[in-house]
Structure 1
Amino acid sequence: MSNRTPGTKRTAAPIVTLIHKMAKQKKVTEEALEKQLWKTADKLRKNIDAAEYKHVVLGLIFLKYISDSFEELYNRLKAEEASGADPEDKDEYKAENVFFVPPSARWRFLQSHAKQPTIGVTVDAAMDAIETENASLKGVLPKVFARQNLDPTSLGELIDLVGNIALGDAKARSADVLGHVFEYFLGEFALAEGKKGGQFYTPRSVVELLVEMLEPYKGRVFDPCCGSGGMFVQSEKFVADHQGRVNDISIYGQESNQTTWRLAKMNLAIRGIDSSQVKWNNEGSFLNDAHKDLKADYIIANPPFNVSDWGGELMRKDARWAYGVPPVGNANFGWLQHFIYHLAPSGQAGVVLAKGALTSKTSGEGDIRKALVEAGLIDCIVNLPAKLFLNTQIPAALWFMSRNRSNGKFRDRSKEILFIDARNLGHLINRRTKELSHDDVMRIADTYHNWRNPDGDYKDIAGFCAAAPIEKVASLDYVLTPGRYVGLPDEEDDFNFVERFSALKAELEEQLKEEVALNKIIRDNLGKINMP
């Protein structure tokens, strides 16, 4: 006979069920809004390729943003009609730097037609109408909603999904939540596209690292291969996060892929960033420099690696090649000199480049690298972990360059270069892709700042960082691979060989047992096959 108190058994199960239910609800609640939205939007994608689908989703998010901003000002003007305000006057919106949205393109109108079989045509017409009313958006917005492979029912559900993003003040919703969702979706689409995604998207942790190291508080920020504009968004975010004034920086960009340029224009507009100086031409920055006279305070860029068809044969006597003519078959040292050419007298650059540029001597590249070092332009080199980039497995490094390393607000570093080997940092986010954590980013950035700043507390750390005199760089034939300078990490004093060997032996024995079991399963299954 049980000694349990009568009734206990009947109430225990509901309590356990309730606890499980509450835990499940908590998990759902804690899952970030953008992740929930992505999962739903991805389900609606069905058989559409991610490269095509991103324009549908991002186009709708952008449309929601400008409609929200318009509606907020519209309602304010409506309330002031007695004082002479006209809510349908385009000049009222231009004065407030808000896009004018005609009636047939307003979100409320689109949502009311979301269940109609012609909704794709309606959204395309809305995009056309917005471009007609706003010259700065001409040729920017996607008109892909009436395509046959986009199911009208799924499009209607997507409109409802985007329509429910956040609640509360329209301006805050547009600037913060919608901007964050847009940026998150860019990253997810880049992951979904894999190699092609890397052409328009630099991994966020790499962008964050570049910006944290350069600290672009004030001045002109330039990216001549700007992709979807992530460098600019992160620069503005850095200023805002450090209580600076966002208006103290101005952005200049260029992109040769028109589809990517459109993404950049939308990405910047949804953040309220002036993109009037972000230019497109299909020749690209080398053959048709859209900012010939620009001298930038900061250059932040991730140019395509090892490009062979960059038009180098047409520019053998170009004024930009002050440190040596780059080889026709590789644009890496063309990019480096393009960046230097556009730096202001105290300008700084932080750029991503294929790791091979640190050691290559092909077609005069070693001579150019030597000239850059001897000119005192190279400030810091960071060796990055593998698998950070979506579009290539080529190892990469960051180059930090400065026009003025002897004076200015930092200490004189003209006689040395800082090398950081960050290959062992980062963590996997899937089988093929790594990212740097915020702690990783700050460890690298703080090391650079402690070395660069007059009051910094910098020390070499074996296996991670070393400040090398130019004489040592020269003795190593101007090879800039950080591993040559930082050495090997100090072994931990408490390393126990016997303990480590025993653990590895036990692991091997377990794997051998597993192999035997798997082989038996395979043999048994093969025995069940009836051969003719």
Structure 2
Amino acid sequence: MNFTPKSVVALIAEMIEPFKGKIYDPCCGSGGMFVQSLKFIDSHKGNRKNIAIYGQEYTNTTYKLAKMNLAVRGISGNLGEVAGDSFFKDQHEDLKADYIMANPPFNQKQWRGEKELIDDHRWDGFEVPPTGNANYAWIMHMISKLSENGTAGFVLANGSMSSNTGGEGAIRQKIIEKDLVDCMIALPGQLFYTTQIPVCLWFITKNKKEDTERGYRNRQGETLFIDAREMGTMVSRVHKELTTEDIAEIARTYHAWRGEEKDGEYEDKAGYSKSATLDEIKANDFVLTPGRYVGAAENEDDGIPFEVKMKELSQTLYSQMEQAETLDNAIRQNLEVLGYGE
């Protein structure tokens, strides 16, 4: 189990805004996604009674911990009757969730046998996911659980954005052609305590049409790419966190793109964000890595004329060359004293 950093969970909540409806996590661990969802509701003065929680956890000990975690916070939720594998013992088979928040196991191997789950309804319209990696099985499982207007935000290893192994590329292409990919975010490294695997956030939605109630514009045929790899602050020698300001900026970019007036007008920003069409994604071989789309950041002009910069740099270079010559002579003299002269 990869413990999900609080800043990453907070970002997912700020992106999908789980105010009203059913929240689902198919690999809920100790229930951190649910706790953060309710913190989001409380901080935005929402009503907890408008949310219903559904989850599932494979490990019995962690399943019990999740139930306790919800209970001590006065949160009611349906985590299934027992601990169970979401692929082989789906305890919410008929669920259609308005929000999905998840951090599935990264690059999970041998999650099914060669002949198991071949005809599962969750793969309808796609390809059967490979046995060697469950990334796309998790994606299709979550797509199958989304309501008509539902949105899913989840963490996956970066390889999921470009892999073609075991037919993953063909599955990704169909997901893109069905216009389900809403936003892709490349995250900075060193966010996780338990793994050094670089990760990204996927946001999947069943409906990119205009939504006047939520203030969303029509974004059919478009996907937003955000490269947040340069964000975050080191909080220790080996660990980084997204700051409150980072989270707010990323969420503001997304909501402005979706059309919410309070977040201003959206504009592409070189090196950071890009609204790409399906044709542009197709031209990039259906790879979803944000760096492919956002380009390089523009260098800020510091106002110093080129001639002045060049003169200063040249003077510095000549000075360094003179120092190097002095050092070379000193080294040569020392070598001669030691009997190693030419």
Q: Same fold (TM over 0.5)?
A: yes
Q: Which TM-score tier does this pair reach, normalised by the shorter chain?
A: 0.7 to 0.9
* Alpha-carbon separation, structure 1, partners of 2:113 and 2:144: 16
1:66-105 pair list within 5 angstroms: none
1:338 matched to 2:146? The reply is no
How far 1:493 moved relative to its partner?
1.1
How much does 1:453 deviate?
Answer: 2.0
Deviation at 1:454, TM superposition (A): 5.0
Return the alpha-carbon distance in structure 2 between the equivalents of residues 376 and 493 of structure 1: 39
Give percent identity, aligned residues only: 50
Q: 1:380 aligns with which of 169, 179, 183?
A: 183
- Counterparts in 2 of 1:329 and 1:280: CA distance versus 1, 3 Å: farther
CA, structure 1 residues 493+385, in 2 after alignment: closer, same or farther (shift >3 Å)? same
Q: Does 1:307 align with 2:108?
A: yes
| Cα separation, 1, equivalents of 2:95 and 2:316 | 63
Secondary structure (helix, strand or coil) at the match of 1:462 reads coil
Give the deviation of 1:280 after TM superposition.
6.4
CA shift digits 1:263-312 (9 cap, x unpaired): 2122212211113x013655410111111110000000000010012115
Shift of 1:431: 2.2
Aligned to 1:453: 259
* Counterpart Cα distance in 2 of 1:488 and 1:281: 49
Give the aligned partner of residue 288 of structure 1: 89
Contact 1:419 1:468 in 2 (8 A): yes
What are the superposed Cα offsets for residues 194-218 of structure 1, whole Å, 9 maximum, x if unpaired? xxxxx26210000000000000010
Counterpart amino acid of 2:289? T
* Aligned 8 A contact 2:2 2:105 in 1: no
Contact 2:135/2:156, CA 8 A, preserved across alignment? yes
| Larger RCO (alpha carbons 8 Å, 6+ apart) | 2
**2:224 is equivalent to residue 421 of structure 1:** no
Partners of 2:191 and 2:224 in 1: CA distance? 22
Question: How many pairs align?
Answer: 307
Mapped contact 2:25–2:100 kept (Cα < 8 A) = yes
In 2 relative to 1, CA 431–280 (structure 1 residues): closer, same or farther, beyond 3 Å? farther
Residues in 1 aligned to 2:244 and 2:72: alpha-carbon distance in whole angstroms: 25
Contact 2:5 2:191 in 1 (8 A): yes
Q: What is the deviation of 1:458?
A: 0.3
SS in 1 for 2:86: helix
Structural mapping, 1:175-190, within 5 Å: none
Tell me if the contact between 1:378 and 1:417 (Cα under 8 Å) persists in the aligned partners. yes
Give distance in 2, aligned partners of 1:420 and 1:200: 23
- Other-structure match for 1:232: 34
Query: CA, structure 1 residues 281+472, in 2 after alignment: closer, same or farther (shift >3 Å)?
Result: same
The one-letter code of the counterpart of 1:217 is F
In the TM superposition, residue 316 of structure 1 has moved relative to its aligned partner by: 1.2
Q: Corresponding residue for 1:433?
A: 239
1:486 is aligned to 294
Whichever residue aligns with residue 237 of structure 2, its letter is: R
Contact 2:63–2:83 (Cα < 8 Å) also in 1: no
The answer to whether the 8 Å contact 2:2/2:103 transfers is no
**Counterpart position of 2:120:** 318
Tell me the residue number matched to 1:350.
153
Deviation larger for 414-423 or 258-267: 258-267
Q: In structure 2, what residue type is equivalent to 1:438?
A: T
One-letter code of the match for 2:266? Answer: Y
Report whether the alignment pairs 1:266 with 2:74. no
CA 1:312–1:475: 2 relative to 1, 3 Å: farther
Secondary structure of 2:87 counterpart: helix
Who is 1:369 aligned against? 172
Deviation at 1:451, TM superposition (A): 0.1
Q: Report the equivalent of 2:249.
A: 443
Q: Counterpart of 2:202 in 1: which secondary structure?
A: strand
What TM-score do you get using the length of structure 2 for normalisation? 0.85
Q: Which has the higher strand share?
A: 2
Q: Deviations over 1:447-482 (max 9, x none)?
A: 000001253410111100000111100111101100
CA distance in structure 2 between the aligned counterparts of 1:417 and 1:316, rounded to whole angstroms: 30
Q: Is contact 1:281-1:288 (8 Å) kept?
A: no
Specify the alignment match of 1:217 in structure 2.
Answer: 19
Structure 1 vs Structure 2 CA RMSD: 2.2
